[in-house]
Structure 1
């Protein structure tokens, strides 16, 4: 199961998960010579709670030069490193991460399975996963799935320049430069897979600090496009 997530003022992903990983700069537009890049797993969008362990970050400069950064950050709540900005233009930051999950079929529906005591979980009607107590005396064998995320963010020094295309299982193309998004602006994106338009893809949008329950969910059209109409407000900026 593969997921692509783009961080640019808000959190946009082609799926949803309780703790979404992300990568984002402290400033998307700057005239400084360097900026801190923060990444981690967050239940509240862009508010890291757990670090991305052993993450490697691919950097593409405005001139299409590429280099790899392996942060030495030892923090438990976040992974952070300095991104040098020697030239003007837009820098792309990319990383990926995986997380093992277990699924089980409950009443003909596949749901995530967590091996935890009933007294530590909400009531079944209040959650979208199952625990051993839900299955009672039934015999069950969870199916293990590795969930994979591809994460992008963009930093512009002094000016915005065209974004260099990067390989990913799922591609998201902004028809407006991601660092030019404005409050109450309608933004159009295109989602593709293997260079083919991906219809009916679930696009999840969360403003900074929003939880999964506060997310906005949209579906792409047959041509892979979707309009994020006025999804940004001043709080997102």
Structure 2
């Protein structure tokens, strides 16, 4: 576990050429001292931060459920926060943002509008997005809200019952404490949005690379009609779990809010 967590910290300060999904993670999922660090950023590969995180408001919940704002300091490649860990038990970190997602209709397809700087794009028929440069005032357009949460957990001395966060956009209930996950131990997560079961939500799991030439470990599934999903981690290490709203057909006009929650977890022997 220490080897995996050391690799996590090292990879957090590396710089690549692209930035993708946001994340937040502790420098160690099990802590012992009076302070620890939390990292956040945008990454293409799990925990390989490329750009400091922006647009999110972060909060920390201590083991007693007390909430306070968690300011982060940015470098070019990563954001970091210092956390006082004077109490035993489990701490929760959550970052949240709300954004408009624009779609445009072209050739009877509703495509995501992206501000891409790439002028050498594939033909539109081979893409699932449309560039802002390809949209004009006559193009039918629509916007929906996307609610993003990035979440992680770490424990000092012992794990403790998770305090429910009423502000979370997507509610998560775990069958196993997130700081007590074991290899080959099934983990069931109950998903809900505003009290309603989140059925048919996409769930993707990616493992952090800790060695050169290591094969990707990726799991993909969807939540059932009761909003439940079962995950089984076949290897130890640090993982990113991404839960997102069901996909919509390109020919269907987007009308509903969408949700995405990205969770950082560690699995031990």
When normalised by structure 1's length, the TM-score is 0.78
Single out whichever of 95-104 and 115-124 deviates more from structure 2.
Answer: 115-124
Distance change >3 Å, CA 76–CA 100, structure 1 → 2: farther
Superposed CA RMSD: 3.0
Correspondence for 2:194: 194
When normalised by structure 2's length, the TM-score is 0.69
Single out whichever of 22-31 and 56-65 deviates more from structure 2.
Answer: 56-65
The number of residues matched between the two structures is 216
Pair 1:150 & 2:153 matched: no
Q: Give the 3-state SS of the residue equivalent to 1:178 in structure 2.
A: coil
Pair 1:221 & 2:224 matched: yes
Q: Give the 3-state SS of the residue equivalent to 2:179 in structure 1.
A: helix
Correspondence for 1:26: 27
Correspondence for 1:44: 45
Q: Between the two structures, name the one with larger relative contact order (CA 8 Å, sep ≥ 6).
A: 1
Pair 1:63 & 2:67 matched: no
Pair 1:234 & 2:236 matched: yes
Deviation string, structure 1 residues 81-121 (Cα, Å, up to 9, x no partner) = 11110011101111212444321123433221225477433
Single out whichever of 200-209 and 123-132 deviates more from structure 2.
Answer: 123-132
Distance 2:77 2:95 in 1: 18
Q: What 5-or-longer segments of structure 1 have no aligned partner?
A: 1-8, 10-17
- The answer on whether the counterparts of 1:55 and 1:70 sit within 8 Å (CA) in structure 2 is no
- The answer on whether the counterparts of 1:182 and 1:232 sit within 8 Å (CA) in structure 2 is no
Q: Give the 3-state SS of the residue equivalent to 2:50 in structure 1.
A: coil
Correspondence for 1:159: 158
Distance change >3 Å, CA 82–CA 128, structure 1 → 2: same
Structure 1 ranges of 4+ moved more than 6 A: 132-135
Correspondence for 1:4: none
Distance change >3 Å, CA 55–CA 118, structure 1 → 2: closer
Distance change >3 Å, CA 104–CA 36, structure 1 → 2: same
Distance change >3 Å, CA 166–CA 131, structure 1 → 2: same
